[in-house]
Structure 1
Amino acid sequence: MVGMLERTIAGLQRNNMAGYFVHNRQELMALLSGLMEKGQTVGCGDSVTLEELGVFDFLRKGDYIFYDKYVPGLTSEDKRRLYIQNFAADTFITGTNAVTTDGKLFNIDGNGSRVAPMIYGPRQVIVVVGTNKITEDVESAIQRVRQIAAPMDAKRLKKETPCTKLNRCVDCRHPQRICNDFVLITGQFVKDRIKVIIIDMEIGY
C-alpha cells in the first residue's frame, strides 16, 4: 500500500494537483483547518465519506460560511440555489468515486451538481478519499464505480433502478438512473487548485 500511495500522490503532483496523506480523522481535521481560512465560503458535494468522517459537522461548527445542502426542509429549488452558489465558493469540498495511481480522478454523477464545481468555479477544491478508492488505472476505476459504488449509492438514495436488486450495473435506462455524468479529471490548469487528501482507512464507497 505504501508504494501505491506514493505513486498516487506523485501522479497527482504531475497532473498539477496536490496530494496529501493523513492517518486518521484528527489529522484530517487539522489539515482542513490549515487549508481553509476562517470566514471563507465553503460548498460541498454529496459524500458518504465526508458524512462518515464528520466533515460536515466540522464545517457547521467552524468559522465558515457553509452552504449546507443537508438542512432539513430544503426544497429542490433551495438546493438548486446552493448548487449555483458552490461555483463562487472559496472552497468546494467533496469525495470522489476513484483516484488512479497515475493521479486522475474519476466520478459518476446523477445531475452534475458535484462534478461541475470540481471542474470549474471554486478557487479551491478539496477531495477526501479513502484508500479503498485507489485504483491502478482508469479502466479499473470505471469498473469499480459502475459495479460497486453506483449500485450502493442507488440503494442509499432509495432508487428503484435494476442495480439495487442485482447489485451490479446493467447500463439501464431507468428514469431514476444516477449514472448520467461520467467525468475524468486528468489534470488542472491552475496548479494545486484541486487538493486530494487520502485518509488511511476504507471509508465510503
Structure 2
Amino acid sequence: MNQKITTLIHKLESHNMAGYFVNTPEELLLLIKELIPNGSSVGSGDSVTLEDTGVFEYLRNGDYNFYDKFASDLTKEQKRDIYLRNFTADTFISSANAITIDGAIFNIDGNGSRVAPILYGPKQVIIIIGINKITDDLDSAIKRTRQIAAPLDAKRLGKNTPCTSLGHCIDCKHKERICNDFVLITGQFVKDRIKVIILNENVGY
C-alpha cells in the first residue's frame, strides 16, 4: 500500500468514514464476507465494478436477502419497489464515480436511486472503487466522471445522448441525459457507516 492510499484512508477516517485496501478481487470478497453478517438484507447500486469483481454473484449465492434489481423480467414498478426497499437494507453496496485524495466521494446519478441510499437509510454503506477512480481534487473528480465514466455508462445503458457517439460530455440537455444528480460526500455523522474499499486494480468506469 503506497503513501497515496495511506493518505486517502487516513483522510476518510478523519471524516468519520472507514477505509480499507485489498490487492485482489478474492481479498475483496473475503472482506465483504467479514463486513456483511449472514442473513442481512443487502441492496445495491448499478455498478460495472461490482459486476466485474464478482460481488453481485457472491451476494446472489450467499446467505443474504439480496435485493436483486437486475433480473431481465422485472417491471418498472418492481424495480421501483426494490429502490425503495434499499433505504431499509442492513447494507447498501455500490461503487463511486470518483474519490479525491482528501477523502471526498463524488457521484453523478441519473434518477438518484444509487446516491439516495448512500446518503441516508441503510445502516451500513460499502463503496468499492478501483485505484483508477482516485483523483487529486474535486475538479479532477468531476472531470473524470463527466468525460470518462458518464459517456461509457450512457453507452452501456443504450442511451442516445451525444456523449455515446462523441465519447465525451458536452453538457447536453437530452431527455435521456444521465448526469442529473451531482453528489459530493465529505463526511458522516455516524462513524464508519460508510466504508470505502480500495481495490488495487483498474476496474469499472
Map of 1:106 onto structure 2: 106
**SS at structure 2 position matched to 1:16:** coil
Unmatched 5+ stretches in structure 2: none
Write the distance in 2 (CA, Å) between the matches of 1:49 and 1:6.
22
Write the distance in 2 (CA, Å) between the matches of 1:20 and 1:164.
34
RMSD of the alignment, in Å?
A: 0.7
Map of 2:161 onto structure 1: 161
Show the 5 A alignment for 1:2-81. Answer: 2-81=2-81
Amino acid at match of 1:91: T
Map of 1:182 onto structure 2: 182
Unmatched 5+ stretches in structure 1: none
Amino acid at match of 1:144: R
Write the distance in 1 (CA, Å) between the matches of 2:29 and 2:53.
9
1:140 has 2:137 as partner: no
Write the distance in 1 (CA, Å) between the matches of 2:165 and 2:46.
23
Alpha-carbon offset, residue 166 of structure 1? 1.0
Write the distance in 1 (CA, Å) between the matches of 2:183 and 2:3.
26
Write the distance in 2 (CA, Å) between the matches of 1:125 and 1:46.
14
Using the size of structure 2 for normalisation, the TM-score is 0.99
Show the 5 A alignment for 1:184-199. Answer: 184-199=184-199
C-alpha offsets along residues 62-92 of structure 1, whole Å, 9 cap, x if unaligned?
0000000112200111000000000000000
Write the distance in 2 (CA, Å) between the matches of 1:152 and 1:203.
13
Map of 1:115 onto structure 2: 115
Write the distance in 2 (CA, Å) between the matches of 1:138 and 1:6.
19
Write the distance in 2 (CA, Å) between the matches of 1:88 and 1:56.
19
Amino acid at match of 1:152: L
Write the distance in 2 (CA, Å) between the matches of 1:12 and 1:116.
20
**SS at structure 2 position matched to 1:87:** helix
Write the distance in 2 (CA, Å) between the matches of 1:169 and 1:11.
30
Write the distance in 1 (CA, Å) between the matches of 2:140 and 2:3.
18
How many residues are matched?
Answer: 205
